[in-house]
Amino acid sequence: MGTPRSSVPDADALDELWRTYYRATFNPARLNPGAMRAEMPKKHWSTLPETRDLRALVAEALARVAAMAESAPPTVLDVMPDDRRIPSLRAAATGCEACPLHGPATQTVFGEGPADARVVLVGEQPGDHQEDRCGRPFQGPAGTLLRELMRGAGLPPAEAYLTNAVKHFRFRGKKRLHDRPRADEVQACRPWLVAELERVRPAVLVLLGATATRSVLGQRVRSRDVRGKVLQTAFAPITLPTWHPAAVLRSDDPDALREELSLALRHASRAARAKPREGDLV
């Protein structure tokens, strides 16, 4: 349906509407006077309604960019230490406010284990009660199952490095109901995980569940497409996406998922004991 001619603003009103829109969408951080002059030579500026605002917008650009930088939310890089040893990373992460999860969570739950571990296992996030309250990863029922399966696979838990893609517990409402972390929260926390993996430099990286898989392999990767496969990544020559032990506990067919997880852990155990090949990223 068209608009009646009587509803169309006159030329002056349209110019003012355009100027308002232009001022609202002008991005001072992307100011490039050279490109502006190349696209529209100054001799034509008098024909543009926004020209009356352009001089002021350009003059204010630097101050506006500085104000934007000061009001920008914090990132991991604001507290990431120059010393990338695990104890220093763990201490620095206690003050991380890179995403909203730091507010309601009890504390940061960082990874733990030998800094020279041959195997790193990455989960989703700390759980309620056990992990969130005690500050250690994999302390609840899923952690108990994971350690049981690790021992059965010949992979002593004390010899592996255990961590999560997200370092704060995410819950829904005051009842502290578990809720999966959002993509932006995973992305905000990713520098901590990258720092851990670059420090440990494992021979084998086990990704437990979809959140860990996307954190390492990218948000567009679907865990079902890579689960059970042996991959090589920048973090380890052998990377194994598999089920999270919590998924085993919740499954209608826990035996099948348990066997798949056990198979990945046995593969990790064998690969960790093998002599590194020339060219392996260890």
- For residue 207, the cross-strand partners are 122, 241
DSSP string, 8-47: S--HHHHHHHHHHHHHHH--GGG--HHHHHHHS-GGGGGG
pLDDT band at residue 278 under the 50/70/90 scheme: very low
Are 161 and 246 a contacting pair, CB within 8 Å? no
Q: Residue 54: CB partners within 8 Å, gap ≥ 6?
A: 45, 48
Domains and CATH numbers, the chain: 9-71 (no CATH), 76-273 (3.40.470.10)
Q: Is the pLDDT of residue 34 over 90?
A: no
Average pLDDT over residues 55-62: 80
Q: Is the pLDDT of residue 119 over 60?
A: yes
Residue 36 has a pLDDT of 76
Average pLDDT over residues 41-62: 77
Average pLDDT over residues 173-188: 76
- % of the chain exceeding 90 in pLDDT: 50
Residue 276 has a pLDDT of 53
Are 268 and 153 a contacting pair, CB within 8 Å? yes
CA 183 to CA 71: how far, in whole Å?
22
Q: Is the pLDDT of residue 280 over 70?
A: no
Q: Is the pLDDT of residue 8 over 70?
A: no
Are 242 and 208 a contacting pair, CB within 8 Å? yes
Residue 279 has a pLDDT of 41
Q: Is the pLDDT of residue 136 over 70?
A: yes
Helices (H), 119-253: 130-134, 141-152, 183-200, 210-217, 223-226, 245-250
When the pLDDT of each residue in the chain is averaged and rounded to a whole number, the result is 85
- % of the chain exceeding 70 in pLDDT: 87
- Tens-place pLDDT, residues 125-135: 987 667 888 88
Residue 277 has a pLDDT of 42
More confident residue, 50 or 269: 269
Residue 174 has a pLDDT of 62
- Tens-place pLDDT, residues 222-259: 999 999 999 999 999 999 999 999 999 999 999 999 99
The burial class, CB within 10 Å (0-12 / 13-18 / 19+), for 173 is exposed
DSSP designation for 278: T
pLDDT band at residue 282 under the 50/70/90 scheme: very low
Q: Is the pLDDT of residue 20 over 90?
A: no
Q: Residue 221: CB partners within 8 Å, gap ≥ 6?
A: 213, 214
CA 252 to CA 167: how far, in whole Å?
29
Residue 246 has a pLDDT of 93
